[in-house]
Every structure is written in structure tokens, then in C-alpha cells.
Structure 1
Amino acid sequence: MERDLDENPIQQGGSYDTTGSIAMNVSDGFTMVAVGDLIVSRALTKGRHPSFGDIVQILRDADVTFGNMETLIFDIRSFKGSPQAEYGGAYHVSLPEIGPDLKAMGFNIVGRANNHSCDWGLEGMRETSRVLDENGIIHAGVGENLAQAGAARFLETARGRVALLSFTTSFTPMSRACDPAGEAPGRPGLNALRLAKSIVVPPEMLESLRRVRDALPDSKPGRADPNIVVLAGTKYRAGDNVGYNYQADTGDVADILRNVRRGKQFSDFCIVTNHCHQPGNWSQEIADYEQSFAYSLIDAGADAYVGHGPHQLRGIEIYKGRPIFYSLGNFFYDDLRTPVGADMFEVYGKNPQVDTDAEVTVDEEAKGYPTAEGFVGALAAPVYYESVVTVSRFEQNQLAELRLYPIELGYSKRFADRGVPCLAPATQAKAILERLQKLSKPFGTEIVIENDIGVIRLQPNSPR
């Protein structure tokens, strides 16, 4: 049913703009900086990173500065937890000093729901929350139950109150939070969007798979959907092009949309962030569920959708005057993590009595994350060390201009020095922005390159 824009805004929990979304209510000149993954193990503002200062100034100048917190913060000398048997591909760990350091850089709001949220158990999750709270950094996406993990958290700024909701489609099974049920207590963890994955194949290929399935002794061909074949736990469905299909869990979708609506009702500006590796770190294309779901989030009240996860850039779209960043890649990729759990040594064929944590990390980057099928997506290519800092400026409660500052993370530097962003030199900046132009063109987004900076400009009340 089409929404009546003249309905009582108090009754509806907010007024609506001309696009039909719940209106933002920020002062002119409101700016949001959004970056991708914060994989950082040490304090950086006082280190030997002279060109990093230019980026820090961009972060500090915004009203709200967001990043995805993809690490845990604690002091191993007093830590009471342990590395978990389920972990997000690597045991991310950071020194407590990065709490005040992130605050000094300008970060004031971070997402927490991702595949590393529980690498070090609930103890690591809770200790990270404590450090962020002590330093006044607002964070969302984890909690003592699903209601807490899914709830919006709020940042007060001079130009408006900002809400943040954080969820992830990439997570270890035991890290998913849940609510109480009767006498059963709730479960601490992260805010998850579960996706049912299937592989799309042409009809003739599906028929071959069906014959294989029917030949197995435990098959039940008479009960099968003719358009679907489940073989060895993998679902295949008929389609025109080979690829991956994802169906979002309807209960998770309803919870997330309700929390977005609630978050916007109590704020002037709402950021929703999704940690999504699908279909894989190798892909610059988005998963097939994501565009329509991003639209639904904005229709429910989100003013910006910030994606991250695959460690590289994906396209940018403008929908109803709001930015959609499908992936902002890495902002920090400082992998000087230590200690590393014994399970990770074993996965990469290393011996903790002989090999070092750094040697395990280098091998992990060369091979990629381990899965049940093997290693997926090597992470040592230059593309994972290139990204952008996005600065969105709003006028008349619409996105007026989006500036994209290309950054590089020192791919060619020695292990101890790489992973820290600096503004990319001209030739590299042009290549990064041209790649982002190409990735964004299918979404109807025009990026102009001016003085090594990408610029997207919109007219007031523009539908895009």
C-alpha cells in the first residue's frame, strides 16, 4: 500500500521527505566520513607515518566519522579469555592503546558486527566494548542478546543526532546473538543477517546433478522440487547464468528493518552498515540480494548504507538522495597481530615452536581465508591495499556532494610498515578512481575526477 505523506508524523514516528523515506533532520553542512575495515593492531598517531596526518585531518573535520571495527582490543597479559575454535579466518587482536588513538584520529562511531567479532570469545567482545566506551566511541552490532546487538546506538553532534545499526552476513555460527525464549536465556553475540546460499546452473547441468543425486543410496528423488537439487549439502537451482543466489532470512530482515525504523525515529540521521563478503573476497560485484535490501533499509529510514567485508572496493550508488557504498575495502590493513591462536598455526601448516606469528599472517594473506572447501581469496594483491575515504556533505537534508579521496596502504612496504593509509600519488589515485567509476557505472553513478579526487554532485531534491 502506498504511504500517505500527509499522515501524522507523530503517529508514524517521523516525517517523510518527497521520496517517501523518513526525512533526515540535520543542519546544513552536515558531513559524514565513512571508511571500510579498521584492521589495526597498534597506535598510529604517534608513530612514524608522516603522510598519515593528511588523512587524519579529513577524519577530524567531519561531524560523524565511521569505520568497521574488525578487531578485538585487549591486553593479553591480563586477558581471561582464549582464542576460539571458530574464528573469522584470522585471530584479530589489538593493543588497548588503539582506543584513545582511534578517538584522536577522529573516529566517533564504529560498527562491530563482522566475522571477527568473537575471535577471542565473549571475553574479547566485552573487553573491546569496554575500551570503546571508555574512549567515548559509539559502537553497535554486538550485545548480551539479539535485542542489544541489533539496537541502534546514538552519537550526539552539533548538527544532529546520529544513529548507527550494524549487522553482518559473514559470521561464525556460534557468534550469532539470540533473544530469551521462555526460561532459556538470551545468547550474547552479534547481529546477523542469515543468507541461504544456492548455486544457479543451466537446466541441462541441473539434470546431470539430479542424476548424480538419484544414484546415491540415501537420495529421496520423489520428494524433490523439480527446479532444485540438493547434493552433498549444497543446493543447486535452475537459471540462465551460472552464479550464486542468496535468500535472506525473513525473520532477520524484519528485525533489522524494524530496528532501522526505530533508530531513525530517535535520531536526525541514520547509518546502517553491513559486513558482507558474499559472493567472495575475489569479487568486485555485489551479491544478488544486496541492492534490493539496501533500498529497503533506506525506505525504512537509513540515510547511508555502508558496506565492507571483501577487503576491496565495490560500486557506489545514490538512492533517494542517500549514498550506498557497497564496499569501502580496507582503511587500515595493519596485520601486525600477535599473539595468534594455535588453530591458525595448524591451518597453515606452521609450528608455534618454530614459526612466528608474522610468518603465519604472511601465509594467510598469500592463500586467503580457510573454508571447508579450502582457501578462498588471496589477500596479498595490490587491490586489497587501495581504497577511498568518502566525505558526504548534506544540504537541505539531501546529499549535495560526495568526495572520494583515494588512499594506498603501502603494499610494497616491509611487513612492519604496511597497512597504514596515505593519500595515493597522482597516477595511482587516477587508477583507483577509474576503477571505482567503472564499478559504479552500472548503478547510474557518475564520478568526476578533479585534482586526483573523485566527486559526485547532486542537485537539491534529486531522485538519485
Structure 2
Amino acid sequence: MKKFLSIAFLTVVVAYFLISCQNKSVAIVPPTKVDTPKLKKLKDTISIVAVGDMMLGSAYPSKVNLPSDDAVNSFVAVEEFLKGDIVFGNLEGCFLDKGKSTKCSDPHSTSCFAFRMPERYAGIYKKAGFNVLSIANNHIGDFGLTGRKRTTSILDSLQIEYAGLQSKPFAIFEKDSVKYAFCAFAPNDNTVSIKNIDSAKMLVAELKKQVDIVIVSFHGGGEGAKFEHITRKTEVFYNENRGNVYAFAHGVIDAGADVVLGHGPHVTRAMEVYKNKFIAYSLGNFCTYGMFGLKGPNGFAPLLQLKVNAKGDFLYVDVISIKQDKVNRLTIDENFTAFKKIQTLTNLDIPENQLKFEGNGRISLK
């Protein structure tokens, strides 16, 4: 009975509404569809693998500086660790199959360093998992414009992102719904200068407007065991201004950078978290064959497995310590030398740091 009365009442109401509309000429307008903006869902955790200098063997001045396995086993000892959203390293040299370097007046000199990796070696980096490379350094120009152009052409063909030349100051790309910008700096000719911090900040600020995560790389600071420490001043090496890496790293983070990855000194340096953003001041020699000096601290380096959140804020970093020598080449260091060095240097050079160094190689916030 109640159901019958409810239906009857609804029928009367509808009939009254229709009659009213006819009498008053009221138009029935369907509700307007309102488009609501779709919120972009970013990954909760972004994984960035980062290493330092890489040069797998140079065919100049002769093929004696190429490894006997033609470099195919260069990364075999660490291949399980080279997995992440971003796998980054510094490409210390160019890809080029022929040509002489104007850098060396004597092509047979043992004290002039010009690196020309065979073009086929580029595929070794790709196969190992590297998808972002810095080419802002002193060796990308060892064979002039020809070497730079051939290198960038090969990296383009392999779809490896890169930056650091004045002709290619940055790269913007997307991976798994996250939009990245990568830019790189150095004190060398034809590279984007690390010495002009204001210009670097302007570039980073513009990039941050367009992307989710900005990664900055720099090649700067003095070289060798005497330059393990961060001075917070302009560093000069062989009468060359190598930049103030501390001021540079802080400056680009102030401008919007999320991660700053340094290399150039050929030794491991301190690490820092500034405004919740991660800085590695030098990642040392990671995989360098031939004429690179590997004695003492030059032979040890970290492989970083860095985790940041969707905002680019530091979560933690796992440090895989590696070592190199002329016989065994790249291997895992069971003594954790690079990790211990990072801890010591960080506490000495950045005593205000809030980092916790754990026995398993992890660095997190206190």
C-alpha cells in the first residue's frame, strides 16, 4: 500500500512539473558537464643509480690502450646494481673511430691524455643500463668538433639522454610518467660553465617549471688525493679555475634542483643533504681503463643507489663500494673503502650534516 502511494505521489509531482513548464514556457536544460582536472600520479619512490668517471679504453694513440676483451666485460662485476629509473655516469671521452687529437703535439706521448673510445663501445654502456650521461668534462673535446658531433649522434641513436655542451645544455624526457630534466656543467671549453653560478641557477629554475625532477651534474674541483676535501672556495688546479663546487651545488638547489651529482677530482668526496636534496661532491673513477691513475684513493669509488620521493626529496642512499686496478679492473670492494671514506670526509668537511651512516652501506637522515 505504501509503495503504491509513493508511486502515485511521484506521478503527480512529475505531471505538475511538466504542466508548469508548458504553461510558463520553461526550457529544460540538461546539466552542464564540468571537466575536473586530472591529478597526475607520480611514483612514490624514484630510483637513481649514479657513478663517476667512465672511459672503457682509448684507441689513441694506439690500440695498446684497449682492453683484451674489447671492453665487453667492463661492467660485469656490477651489472646487478645498475638498475633504476635513472642510471647515470660521466662519459670521460668521445666515441670516434679515427682521427688525431690537436691536444697532443706528440701522438706517442705518455703524458698527454686524449681519449677516443671506439664507436662500438657506446653499445656497451647501453647494454649495461646507462640511460643518462654527462658529457660536460675536459675530455669530450679531445678530438674537437668532430669528436663531439660523432659522440652526440651515437648517443641519440641509442636513445641515451645526455647534456653539458653549449650546443646541448640540457635534456628533458619522461620515464614511467615522471618528467625529468637533466643538465650538466664543467669549467671546460664548449661546455656549460660551472663558474657562472647565476646562469646555472637561471637554467635550473626554468627547467623546474617544466618538469617534476631536475638532476644536475657537474665536473669540477681539483684532481687527485690532495683534493679529497671540499674547501667551500674556488678550486684551482694547474692554474685553471675549476669552480666553487660547494657554492654551485647549493645555488642550483636553491633554484630548484632535486639531485646534484659531482665528478672530476678522480677521488671520492663528501656527500650532503641540503634543503632535503642530495649532493654527491665527487663520485671518483668508476670504470676507467688505460692511462688513468688508480693508486691509493684514485682506485676506490662509490656506486650509489639513491632513492628520492615524488617531490625529489632525499629518502636514503645505498653505497656499493667498488675498486679498480690494472689487472682485475672493476670489482666489488668487500672492505667498503669508498663508503668509509665518504663517512670520514662528510664528517670532516660538513660537520653540520644530519646524515646517519649504517654498517650495511646505507646513508639516511638522523
Shorter-chain TM-score range: 0.7 to 0.9
SS at match of 1:274: strand
Cα distance per residue 1:275-296 (max 9 Å; x no partner): 0133766211124132222111
Q: What pairs up with 1:313-392 in 2 under 5 angstroms? A: 313-335=268-290, 361=291, 379-392=293-306
Deviations 1:93-147 (A, max 9, x none): 11112211111111001111111121111101111111111111111011xxx3x
Candidates 262, 271, 292, aligned match of 2:206? 262
Identical columns (%): 26
1:166 to 175, 178, 184: 184
Q: Look up the match of 1:191.
A: 192
Contact 1:26 1:269 in 2 (8 A): no
CA contact (8 A) 1:74 1:128 kept: yes
Letter in 2 for 1:435: K
1:279-290 superposed matches below 5 A: 282-287=226-231, 288=233, 289-290=244-245
AA aligned to 2:296 is P
Equivalent residue runs for 1:22-171 within 5 Å? 26-41=42-57, 47=72, 52-53=75-76, 55-59=78-82, 61-76=83-98, 79=99, 82-85=100-103, 90-142=113-165, 146=166, 148-150=167-169, 152-169=170-187, 171=188
Tell me how far 1:386 sits from its aligned partner.
0.6
What's the offset of the Cα at 1:257? 1.3
Per the normalisation by structure 2, the TM-score is 0.75
- Match of 1:190, SS? coil
Map 1:427-438 to 2 at 5 A: 428-429=335-336, 431-438=337-344
Which residue pairs with 2:28 in the alignment? Answer: none
Contact 1:154 1:163 (C-alpha < 8 Å) held by counterparts: yes
Root-mean-square deviation (Å):
2.6
**Residues 48/254 of structure 1: CA separation in 2 closer, same or farther (3 Å cut):** closer
Distance change in 2, residues 1:45/1:54 (3 Å): farther
Instruction: Structure 2: state its 5+ residue gaps.
Output: 1-40, 58-65, 106-110, 234-243
Which of 330, 333, 349 does residue 424 from structure 1 map onto? 333
1:375-418 superposed Cα distances (whole Å, 9 cap, x missing partner):
xxxx3413111111111112353221111110111x2x43xx53
Structure 1 gaps of 5+ residues are 1-24, 177-188, 195-251, 336-360, 366-378, 460-464
Distance 1:48 1:107, change over 3 A: closer
Q: Are the counterparts in 2 of residues 307 and 326 from structure 1 also a CA contact under 8 Å?
A: yes
Rounded to whole Å, the distance in 2 between the matches of 1:309 and 1:281 is 12
2:321 is paired with a residue of what secondary structure? strand
Q: Is the partner of 1:393 in helix, strand or coil? A: strand
**Alignment-mate amino acid for residue 393 of structure 1:** K
User: 1:167–1:192: 8 Å Cα contact kept in structure 2?
Assistant: yes
What letter corresponds to residue 171 of structure 2 in structure 1?
A: R
For 1:231-246, what aligned pairs fall within 5 Å after superposition? Answer: none
Amino acid at match of 1:399: F
**SS of residue matched to 1:435:** helix
Of residues 456, 460, 464, the one that matches 2:363 is 456
- Number of residue pairs the alignment of both structures matches: 298
User: Whole-Å Cα distance in 2 between the matches of residues 58 and 400 of structure 1?
Assistant: 18
Alpha-carbon distance in 1 for matches of 2:310, 2:171: 24
Q: Give the residue type in structure 1 aligned to 2:210.
A: F
- Counterpart of 1:166 in 2: which secondary structure? strand
Structure 1 equivalent of residue 13 of structure 2: none
Residue-by-residue CA offset, 1:417-447 (whole Å, 9 max, x unaligned): 53xx22212xx22x33222111111421534
* Aligned partner of 1:401 among 310, 316, 326: 316
